[in-house]
A and B are shown apart, each in its own frame.
Chain A
């Protein structure tokens, strides 16, 4: 490994204000995405805090029922379109060129445009609170969405169209970059699994997002021009909207989870010092999930206007997705098996992901079963299921990835102790918040309600208490990140001893990523194979720092 010489890029250093400009550097854009999406995570989380405060008691006594509906509508929209989806794009942007040894993304300007659509889209959405935010749920089913507050609903549509466009532009870039810009020696079977995951994600975005855009534009016509595409009062069909909406929004689940499955496949081998178990199975299972993800959408409509035979068809396709998902989970367990596991914060979040996502996966098979889903559809059982997938899966994945690549992105080391505290609080908070919701739904509590049967109060209190823990858990995280970024000890170029290419350059990487074209001296996961081993300064924070100063 060649140590970067200080003089080589001294005059073109990244300055703080570059992060507020229309930069075309994928690393700047990646961090812009990540910080922006974290800001929206805190907004969406605050909304959830108000929601859980309201639900601590059966009566509607904190906010008005109208405002309550606005809160959960915007909460879901923010968490999906402004938090998890852009966070996936953040890591895609930051990591893909580094992992494949490229200098930048294929279309840097398009990349910057994609990012700069997000802040205005997000601000627009939040501004809807000034005129009455949308209150028909993030699914925005007509006719309700046509009848509750036109301005808020219209703003919601516009905002989603902007965010959807951003997502499509990003996906084109990921696809082309991975396909065309790998260093010559890297064939598709020696590229990091994160790249495979981003190919699968991008394919889904490109195939499904235009359908959502179509549905939203037709909905906007119904809303503003009085057409009747979906409005039954004029002969329209609200079920058609549901089909179009879910044709995007089921794949959206995989758009939100696959990037972090990919990240997990990077993180586990490094911190367990073990090759990934079943590289090809994990790589191709992403593609299979993404293909199957396109033909399961009507499982969200088992109690809606879907005939029996179609319900059976979508039940079977949905069930099959459990197979490639299982391959991943078992592959990760196989990776840990026989390793030398260091309980670093990324590893803790990674193992937490497997544990929590498993629950979402198991309930996912249950709700795929039509007779059972008829009972639990639109209840708190579904709320529990989806949060185990999106919080237990995606959000824990985002945290794992953030900690894992923090030294690379900032050139500094985070504080391990507070990272572990953050993990413990998050993991306990997540289970306290969402586990009791399974029981609530089974017993008869429907979702999206501001007032509920008093017999459910105790379980709801437990959920609200869990949410409080989750709120508290963000403090050690934010303080750790901000303080470490500014004042943390300097990180080594390769603090974890990783074998993928991003660890072969300086931390943070120079503007052109690599001072000389990187060479693949081993496969991405050749741990324990006696090939080239990276340095072992990953062992103790002290040594990480020492290794860093040795490199200077």
Chain B
């Protein structure tokens, strides 16, 4: 990420441009004496240090479970650093003028007649322009690394494995009322494709995701498994082909920093490599009806052995009784609210009794 360093470095010539701006201010704006240049330089360095520190230590993001998450966080931290700097400068200016330029009792005169300064105005046009240019370039770079500009994904040419998978036509795509459901219809597939390193390679795991009110279901085309939970092996390049049965949904993995709408009539995709074992929430982020808030399930990132044994267990269980995604989906609207808070509860070690207690005053459950 040389780009990241370059951009941070450019931005953090901060002390110097705050020095320049202060010189300008001294000449043009401020007839009264201002702090000495040394003091300005110290303030600038302090500002830089605080911004850099906060940009790295804000603690506002959940754990990173994929390489993409680390890239997005690097971008966010850089933007947070700049934002912190600008925040301190502007709020600091407001406080400064409020104290220094407050009208004193009995003073009926006007302030200074200064009504503009072209070099200064050019300066504060150029700096933000440079900053957003830098953020744009950095964002473009991260987006490319995430697979956002994968020509296969963004031009809609299906890789051989995808075509094969669709030939096998998973149960996930066989539902009535989806006349418009045709993955090839749009000329462009949407979402995140292969990372540059994986371009032109088929994914190691391919899963069909179907969103419906109010559940996510996962079909593994190779084995025919249909599940309400997503299991993925760690370190393997996984591709999710996302569809929606009824309305718009959005497939969101906060710990992976990735999200893509599920759109009825179109297929979208997310491709990523989990790199951290664990259990993560899968959240629907697009309003899909009254129970949108409980359209939640789990992603389990497992060791290859665990993953294999899960697959086998599911195959045994489902061989006797094949399932469709619709059967897997639980109708949450029929659940009481302590039941639909269940998925959260497990993750937090909250017992059903605690939820019961929380719901104590609840009356609307039918």
Contact = CB atoms under 8 A, between A and B. Distances in A.
Interface string B236-263: 0000000000111010101101111101
Interface string A521-552: 00001111110010010010000000000000
Given A330-B124, A372-B75, A527-B111, A339 B247 contact: no
Given A341-B103, A354-B94, A355-B94, A378 B110 contact: no
Interface stretch (B148-156, B161-169, B221-229, B313-321): B148-156
Contact of B290 (A69, A305, A311): A69
Most chain B beta carbons < 10 A, residue from A135, A144, A333, A343: A144
Interface residues of A, number: 109
Nearest to B190: A305
Contacts of A315: 136, 139-140
A451 B114 contact: no
A61 B363 CA distance: 7
A371 B61 contact: no
B196 interface: no
Contacts of B284: 446
A379 interface: yes
Interface string B79-91: 1100100110011
B291 interface: yes
Given A61-B337, A340-B107, A527-B111, A334 B72 contact: no
Contact of B285 (A379, A439, A527, A530): A379
Interface in B90-134: 90-91, 93-94, 97-98, 101-104, 107-117, 120-121, 124-125, 128-129, 131-133
A148 B290 CA distance: 9
Most chain B beta carbons < 10 A, residue from A136, A327, A371: A371
Interface stretch (A14-22, A398-406, A452-460): A452-460
A80 B213 CA distance: 29
Interface in A346-385: 351, 354-355, 358-359, 362-363, 365-366, 369-372, 374-375, 377-379
B288 A144 contact: yes
Given A312-B140, A338-B114, A319 B135 contact: yes
A305 B289 CA distance: 20
B101 A341 contact: yes
Contacts of A369: 75, 79, 135-136, 139
Contacts of B283: 444, 446
A374 B250 CA distance: 11
A371 B79 CA distance: 12
A272 B136 CA distance: 37
Interface of B is mostly: mixed
A358 B261 CA distance: 30
How many of chain B's residues touch chain A, expressed as a range?
A: 35 or more
B179 interface: yes
A42 B52 CA distance: 42
Contact of B128 (A326, A333, A438): A326
B112 A528 contact: yes
Interface in B24-57: 25, 29-31
B223 to A, nearest CB: 29
Given A337-B97, A442-B61, A527-B111, A235 B179 contact: yes
What are the 9 A-B residue pairs with the smallest beta carbon separation, nearest first?
A: A449-B293, A232-B265, A528-B110, A275-B115, A444-B254, A339-B111, A65-B290, A528-B113, A338-B112
Given A61-B364, A327-B124, 19 more contacts: A60-B364, A61-B362, A64-B290, A137-B287, A143-B264, A147-B246, A275-B114, A277-B117, A305-B266, A308-B143, A316-B136, A323-B132, A334-B120, A340-B104, A370-B148, A448-B293, A527-B113, A528-B109, A536-B108
Interface of A: 57-61, 63-66, 68-69, 135-137, 141, 143-144, 147-148, 232-239, 272-281, 303-309, 311-312, 315-316, 319-320, 322-323, 326-327, 329-331, 333-334, 336-343, 351, 354-355, 358-359, 362-363, 365-366, 369-372, 374-375, 377-379, 438-439, 442-444, 446-455, 525-530, 533, 536, 539
9 contacts: A58-B358, A144-B287, A279-B115, A303-B250, A323-B128, A334-B116, A341-B97, A366-B80, A533-B110
Interface of B: 25, 29-31, 60-62, 71-72, 75-76, 79-80, 83, 86-87, 90-91, 93-94, 97-98, 101-104, 107-117, 120-121, 124-125, 128-129, 131-133, 135-136, 139-140, 142-143, 146, 148-150, 153-154, 177-180, 186, 188, 190, 192, 246-248, 250, 252, 254-255, 257-261, 263-266, 268, 281, 283-294, 337-338, 340-341, 344-345, 347-348, 350, 355, 358-359, 361-362, 364
